[in-house]
Structure 1
Amino acid sequence: MVSYVIWDLGETITTPPPGGMDLKPLNEYPDIKLRKNVDEVLKTINKFDLKNAILSNTARSDSNAVKKLLKRLGVLELFEYVYATQSELDPNIPEKPDAIVYNMVLDDLGIKASDGIMVGNTWDTDIIGANQVGMHSIWLQNPSVSVRKDRETKVNNPPWVIPIWDVDSVPKAIELINSCV
């Protein structure tokens, strides 16, 4: 049974830094905000007796910088676990969609892939990566934030991939996934 909802950060729960990449630690960008209704959705998920976690590809931000950002945004206490890859500027560091990153997070959380749901806006990293390790996923397809370049990789079903329009739909998508497992 699903026990964790694992969130991407930029363009999924927060607005991005200027230019889209964190060229300095994310907590040093005062203009980064939570996307609309994210705090309410995170609280709803906690009411479902599920835990929230973060898995985000970042350039300069480590997990502590992301925690500082989440604290400033008033939602750090809603997350049990935060991991930032610091990989976007170094091709030698694993990042989503690499299975090693997903498996490390699953191991740290002490769960099987089928016990997690990945929520993200990028098909190529968030959704395909989760799918390939056996995690369910919720794809935030809002055209203003959704990214898809990989049209070749085949998707396994199950695990389930649920497309949604905005973050408000995450609780219903979780209920749908839970009804199928």
Structure 2
Amino acid sequence: MTTPPPGGTDYKPLDQYNNIELRPNVVKTLKKIESLGLKNVILSNTASSDSATVIRMLDRLGVLEMFEYVYATQSELDPDIPQKPDEIVFNKVLQKIGVKPKDCIMVGNTWDTDIVGANRAGMHAVWLQNPLVSVRKNCEVTVNTPPWILPVWDVDSVPKAIELIIESKNHFAD
């Protein structure tokens, strides 16, 4: 959704990085997802940024009102704090927003944390390919299908992938 902080890790709070920007077409994509009747939520592994910090950054970027809930793990520098792909953090967010895993679609750009974590939690996923972070570090990890995982190469393709997942859920529910 945004450009990363220098080096990829928030060694200082994310709202202190003025060079973090929205990626192209993110607002259009978020609006399209909302038009499908879905909630936009953020679950982010962060190092030094708590949820309030991420909320301030989203407000600065002008998209805060598009998110129903924001949760930052503040865990990347502390191995004792649960973070994606741990089911604990997925379940915490799902419980907070009142959605069952089978009714949720995770959009993420990191295979090892976003996609594998969502899959383990029983959520469908859209894998937004990004050559900087989408490399599979652990090729031994297996996933279950369903839930479905659809890869896309740009943010503009995310709504169509979500629509395909919704259609497949409806088709297989019959």
| Same fold (TM > 0.5) | yes
Rg larger in structure: 2
1:61 equivalenced with 2:40 (yes/no): no
CA distance in 1, matches of 2:59, 2:88: 28
The equivalent of 1:114 in structure 2 is 102
**Please, which runs of 5 or more residues in structure 1 have no aligned partner?**
1-12
Question: How far 1:168 sits from its partner (Å)?
Answer: 0.5
CA deviation string 1:111-150 (max 9, x = no partner): 1101111111110000000001100000011324423212
User: What's the secondary structure of 1:129's corresponding residue?
Assistant: helix
The equivalent of 1:171 in structure 2 is 159
User: What's the secondary structure of 2:15's corresponding residue?
Assistant: helix
Higher helix share: 2
The TM-score with structure 1 as length reference comes to: 0.91
User: What's the secondary structure of 2:3's corresponding residue?
Assistant: coil
CA deviation string 1:67-94 (max 9, x = no partner): 0000110100000000000000000000
The equivalent of 2:172 in structure 1 is none
Higher relative contact order (CA 8 A, sep 6+): 1
Within-5 A mapping of 1:152-167: 152-167=140-155
Alignment length (residue pairs): 169
- The one-letter amino acid of 1:52's match is N
Within-5 A mapping of 1:16-31: 16-31=4-19
The TM-score with structure 2 as length reference comes to: 0.95
Within-5 A mapping of 1:1-181: 13-181=1-169
User: What's the secondary structure of 1:19's corresponding residue?
Assistant: helix
Question: RMSD of the TM alignment (CA)?
Answer: 0.9
**Please, which runs of 5 or more residues in structure 2 have no aligned partner?**
170-174
- The one-letter amino acid of 1:83's match is Y
Question: How far 1:65 sits from its partner (Å)?
Answer: 0.4
Runs of 4+ aligned structure 1 residues displaced above 4 Å come to: none
Higher strand share: 1
